[in-house]
Chain A
Amino acid sequence: MRFRVISVSAALVLGAVFVIALAPSIRAQPKEIKIGGTMAVTGNFAVEWGPKAKQFMEAWATMMNERGGIFVKEVNAKLPIKLIVYDDGSSADRAVELYERLATTDKVDFFTGPASSPITIKASTVAEKYGIPMVTAEANSPAIFARGFKWLVGADRPAPQWAEDYYKMVKALMDAGAMPPLKTVAVIQENTPHTMDVGWGGINRATIAGLTVVATETVPPNSSDFSAIIGKLKALNPDIIYVAAWAGTAAAFAKQAFELGLKPKELHIPHSTITEKWGGMVGQNIADGVTGTTHEAHFKKGDKDAYFALRQKVGLSGFDAGWTSLRFIALEALGKAIEQAGSLDRTKVMATLRTLKYETLHGELHFSFGVEVAGKKVDGVGNKFVFPAQWQNGKIEVLWPADVATAKYRPRM
């Protein structure tokens, strides 16, 4: 009798141990690839990102699934993507709660990046904590990538480098006589991380075109009154005014400059060509001739047809919401890394991401590590660059580089 009790118990215990030991491998047959993230659907970051960003990502996942999913060699099958995007309401606190939820409750395999630098900074700490690869899209402040994190890469080229392409274009145009000889530049920067980075480039890269910076003005976020600055600049009369501000703030500046009689030879507002609606905000009269930089172009490489189809599906046309190219590339890179790694193992995918090189919309994408940007050592920055562009006849025309240029530079006066 006692023998029976003991042997049955032992068998049960052994059986339990056996099942528990096997269980991980039983669970390990994945049926789908889970990717998760948050997005600022409402709140102050929603102006730049908003519902369209979420819709675009979801449309991408649907498109990939229509193609059958991503082939994962380890399970010898094409797996569908399950994309989970929460609304963080532009709150960093809530974003972290939701990324933790994605990691622990939803148990996603990989992360997408959220909106804005501060939220990306906080979200990436969750990625680093759990060892979940995160590919961010638009976030391109060097501060984000200068923390020695191992699980983070970003598709966009760091913001301080935006000015490089612009100034290179300026130099080339001046050399070719297409732009009048310019000597001085004044920089206005809005006090938020991204625009300060863009302003940094404006100030520190001016020497590329042989320019001297004669004034630097920092303005509070969402400034609407520039009368004092405009007065000062009228007296200084710089050749170029470089306005590193978000589109709305820059629109207020452009309107005031017009009304108060400030007319520089060249008005460069990077964010003026990032959205097609900027021209309507200030009126064609003021917009024409303003140069900027855009993420969007009539891409000729990579999966461009799929990209444009996705944009159409979420109701975007022309130069609207150009950051979709970054989102697309970020998601595409993640997909390619999974495919090349042949596995959903996070370490393998991250290692693949680090050495990933493939041709996409703008050319070859790869991530750089240990490079110096704006005085910081950064890891994981991508190389999707912005294209200098200009408002002409109420439309945005890309000026540079030649293979996607749609028009030539037109001097303002």
Chain B
Amino acid sequence: MKALVLGSVALLGVLPFALSSSWLLVMFLSFLWLILTANYDILDGFLGYINLGQGAFFGLGAYVATVLLNVPQMQELGVLTYVVAAGSALGVAALFAAVMAFPLFRLKGLYFAIATLILIFLLQVLALNLAELTGGSYGLYVPPRFFMSTFVGYYLALTLAVAAVAVNWYLSRSTLGLAFRCIKGDDHAAGSIGLDLMRYKILALVIGSLPSAAAGVLFALNSGFIDPNIALGVERSLLPALMALLGGTGTVFGPVFGTGLIRIMETIFFHYLHLPVPSMLFFGLTLMLVALLIPDGLMRSPWIKRLPALRRLASV
């Protein structure tokens, strides 16, 4: 199994030399989605909370970095500019996660899910209304000299994605992850055996915020332009949940396959299908069929178990 994983990563590492820049971009964006999905799964698969606001960390990362990059004093710092911008983005996201954890974790299940959804809507409204800071509906530009080419972005995003999945892998084997799963199973019991529930919950939310915020920074640097829909749109919160569910929550490679499946479907329907009827129609129908046929995600479906190579991946 290790060979399979390392081999795949190595393959991804050399792919940019063979791909056209449009495919590079597709892959770059796919890695960003994978990061969001893997982070989402920390909260869902391990801790048992459905976080419909994962996109908030992405959006905060993108906006904080872009706002800072537009500050004249910041622009003169050379390499330090990137460091400060990215660092602040991560800091703000982590702080947001830590602070929001308190009110959020009073809730459970559907109620928790809605509360997280409210957060992302609120952030979107703030981004729209605080126009002096965020550019409002007109959005914000990243000064051209800070642009990151898709080639460089690909490698950074790949590294970050590998790291995010590695975090999930670590959680699946560590006592920290075990603590999360105890809380997921029965948090009263977990509390009564002495686990400091709040500490673990805050930790989970913060860990899940950092790579997503970094993904937001990478996105902004490559995109050159963000607005409340692009950076804080609700799809950035809903799709990771969908990808995680399709891949199988609580598994290390579930996010990888879930993201892959959806991105492949999307690419087939929008890049290749040339029918008068909208591509979205087919995408939606296929999604529905896939969802009906795979009850608990790819990693736990009977078909995966039949393929020996994948069976090992699924049991991680």
Show the binding face of A for B, using Cβ within 8 Å. 41-43, 51, 86-89, 91-94, 96-98, 100-101, 103-105, 118, 121-122, 125, 141, 143, 147, 191-193, 196, 220-221
Q: How far is the CA of A93 from the CA of B276 in the complex (A)?
A: 22
Give min CB distance, A377 to chain B, whole Å.
15
Per the CB 8 Å criterion, the residue count for chain B at the interface is 29
A121-B271 in contact (CB<8A): no
Contact among B22, B26, B125, B230 for A92, CB-based, below 8 A: B230
The docked-state distance in angstroms from the alpha carbon of A358 to that of B137 is 35
CB distance from A100 to the nearest CB of B (A): 4
User: Which residues from chain A contact B128 at a C-beta distance below 8 Å?
Assistant: 191, 220-221
Instruction: Give the CA-CA distance A122 to B231 in the complex, in Å.
Output: 13
B223 and A105 within 8 A (CB): no
> Contact: A43 with B138, CB < 8 Å?
no
Chain B 222-259 interface 0/1 with A at a Cβ cutoff of 8 Å (1 = within): 01110101100001000000000000000000000000
Closest beta carbon of chain A to B168's beta carbon, Å: 24
A192 and B22 contact, CB distance less than 8 A: no
A-B contact pairs, 12 of them (CB 8 A): A42-B279, A42-B280, A51-B278, A87-B278, A93-B29, A97-B25, A97-B29, A101-B271, A104-B22, A105-B20, A105-B22, A221-B137
Complex contacts, A220 vs chain B, CB 8 Å = 125, 128
Say whether, besides A191-B137, A193-B137, A100 and B227 are in contact (CB < 8 Å). Answer: no
Q: A87-B270, A89-B270, A98-B271 are in contact. Are A122 and B225 (CB under 8 A)?
A: yes
What does DSSP make chain A's interface, helix, strand, loop or mixed?
helix
The chain B residue sitting closest to A125, CB to CB, is B224
A94 to B270: give the CA distance in the assembly, Å. 8
Q: Is the interface of B mostly helix, strand, loop or mixed?
A: helix
Question: How close is B156's CB to chain A, nearest CB, in angstroms?
Answer: 17
CB <8 Å contact, B225 and A97 = no
With a cutoff of 8 Å between Cβ atoms, the chain B residues found around residue A98 in the complex are: 22, 270-271
A125 close to B271 (CB less than 8 A): no
User: Which of chain B's residues has its CB closest to A130's CB?
Assistant: B21
Q: Does B139 contact A (CB under 8 A)?
A: yes
By beta carbon, the residue of chain A nearest B144 is: A147
Residue pair B21, A104 in contact (C-beta under 8 Å): yes
Contact partner, A86, options B125, B227, B266, B271, Cβ 8 Å: B271
Q: When chains A and B are docked, how far (Å) is the Cα of A104 from the Cα of B22? A: 7
Evaluate contact between A42 and B270: CB separation under 8 angstroms: no
The distance in angstroms between the C-alpha atoms of A130 and B295, with both chains bound, is 45
A100→B223 contact, CB < 8 A: no
In the complex, which residues of chain A have a beta carbon less than 8 angstroms from the beta carbon of B227?
Answer: 118
Please tell me if the beta carbons of A43 and B139 are within 8 angstroms of each other in the complex.
no
Question: Residues of B contacting A97 with CB < 8 Å?
Answer: 22, 25-26, 29, 271
B26 near A118: Cβ-Cβ < 8 Å: no
Query: For the complex, is B91 an interface residue (Cβ under 8 Å from A)?
Result: no
Cβ-based interface call for B136 (8 A): yes
Contact in complex: A191, B136 (CB < 8 Å): yes
List residues of chain B with CB within 8 A of the CB of A196.
136-138
Residue of A nearest to B24 (CB): A100
